[in-house]
Every structure is written in C-alpha cells, then in structure tokens.
Structure 1
Amino acid sequence: MAYKLFPHVPVADLERSRSFYQALGWRTAPGMAEGHSMVLDLGEDFGVTLVERRFMQQAIGEDQELADPRRTVSGSFVLIVDIPEEVDALVERAVTAGATAGHRKDDGYTSHRVFADPDGHRWNIVWADPIVLTRD
C-alpha cells in the first residue's frame, strides 16, 4: 500500500514560517495556503502542513497540550537528500534564514546535520550512500 505524508507542524507566525521555508527553496502547494495553514510541497506524496499554533490547539481540543518545540522534543523530521553537498547547502540556507544549527555527523557513508527552525522544530538533513544502503 502506498501512503502520502503531510505532517501538521504548529507554528507561532505563519508568515514568518512561510518566509523561512521559502528561503530553503520549499514552495507552497498551489491552492493550499488559506487562513490559518498552508501546505509546503516537498515532492510527490510528501508535504508539510504549517498550522498556526492557536488554531491547531483548537483543532486538537483541550485534552492535550501542544508541546513547545524549543523546550521539548516530541518528534523530529528527517529529510533525506540525493547528494551529500545538499546536506550542508540546505542547513546553511536554513541558518541564513533564521534557523539554529545543531550537530553534524559524517562517517564516510552518511552525512547528517541538524537545524531547528524559528519555532524550534528539529530537522535532520541526511544523505546516505545508496550503495551502502542496498548491501545485504
């Protein structure tokens, strides 16, 4: 079975987030930016839905509280890129746009860097050698 993934990410300021993610080269899906949310198109069957925090809190109800991603990690996003150079390029664009850079790990067959967006959401940018990944 094939799936499509569009995680909902709560943000404090939708316009700030739009500017930040557009600086990374991510575009708003046509017709998918209205009111309190917008969908970033990251490719076939994958996108990220940015939702204003107050609107998302209303949508989930009072029985759960949204985590503050600056203080609590309730999850993180892993984005796998096609070439190793894109790891540094994407993180550097993120930092220039207002992200905070996190740790780096390079071990010869993977390259991995982390950044936190302006709301504190953690993004892991990874390249993995496809030859190593397909070994038995």
Structure 2
Amino acid sequence: MKLEVVVIPVADVDRAKGFYKALGWREDADFATGDDFRVVQLTPPGSACSIIFGTRVTAAEPGSAQGLYLIVKDIEAARAELVDRGAEVSEVFHDAGGVFPHAGTEGRASGPAPGHKSYGSFASFSDPDGNGWLLQEITTRLPGR
C-alpha cells in the first residue's frame, strides 16, 4: 500500500490553490461539476503523495489538518526556498527532549538538532486557512525505510 492523497480542508479554493502553486507545487487537476463541487489536486516537488482540496470535498473544518510532514534533505535550504516563495516559516528547531516535536510549540529548542541528526530538525508553516505543515530533515533513513 502507498499513501496517495491527503485531503486538506480549506475555506477558499482559489486562495489555497494560489498559495500551494506559489510554493512550487505541481497542479495535477482542477475539476468542477457545476458550482457545488470542485476538486483541486497538487503535488509537492519530489513527492509521490498529493493533496486534494475543493468545494464539498470534505466536511472537516478549514484549517483542521495539522502535523502534515514534508521531508527534506537540507532544512535550511528548504526553509529559505519556502520563505522566498512567500510562506511564513518558523525558525529551524529541534525537540528539546531529542525525540519528536510536541503539538504546538511546546518543547521546541532553537536551531537544528545537534549534529543535524537525521529526523531531528524541523521548521513549521501554515497555509492561509491554518492547516499546519512541518518540514523534517532526513539525511539518512532508518533501516527498512
């Protein structure tokens, strides 16, 4: 099995589409069947998994998707690119306990993980509706991944 699509709840389809396209995400589809149903699919660069949002695509509240991960090889370069493309991205951080980031900003320590330990460095941003994304730096994958 492979994860193919994640549904993102948004309030304004065109605003969301503009935001993600400005980040450099590929538009795969934009289909409407009248004024009451529309689906937009975009894919982050290098990803096999896409996002979908639209009109009457989900009953979830706009902005309720949280903890969506984008994996990067270089956290500073990825953060800089998103900032250059107009996203408001947090500073790079790591979990103070050295394991995994907590919800919200609890337990965040400034800067990358010591030695840029793989899986340990993060940055966060939200789309215009408040759907929350995390960049996670992975330089060496765990065995079996």
TM-score by length of 2: 0.65
Q: CA deviation at 1:89?
A: 2.3
Q: CA deviation at 1:111?
A: 2.7
In the alignment, which residue of structure 2 is the partner of 1:116? 126
In the alignment, which residue of structure 2 is the partner of 1:27? 26
Q: Confirm whether residue 129 of structure 1 aligns to residue 128 of structure 2.
A: no
TM-score by length of 1: 0.69
- Please tell me whether the aligned partners of residues 39 and 54 of structure 2 are also in contact (alpha carbons under 8 angstroms): yes
Q: Confirm whether residue 104 of structure 1 aligns to residue 92 of structure 2.
A: yes
- Please tell me whether the aligned partners of residues 10 and 50 of structure 1 are also in contact (alpha carbons under 8 angstroms): yes
Equivalent pairs counted in the alignment come to 115
| Unaligned residue ranges in structure 2 (runs of 5+) | 33-37, 94-111
Identical columns (%): 24
Match of 2:51 among 43, 48, 68: 48
The root-mean-square deviation of aligned C-alpha atoms, in Å, is: 2.4
The residue identity in structure 2 corresponding to 1:91 is L
The residue identity in structure 1 corresponding to 2:77 is E
Give me the whole-angstrom Cα distance separating, in 1, the residues matched to 2:65 and 2:128.
16
Give me the whole-angstrom Cα distance separating, in 1, the residues matched to 2:66 and 2:126.
12
Which protein is richer in strand relative to its size? 1
When structure 1 is superposed on structure 2, of 4-13 and 103-112 the one drifting more is: 103-112
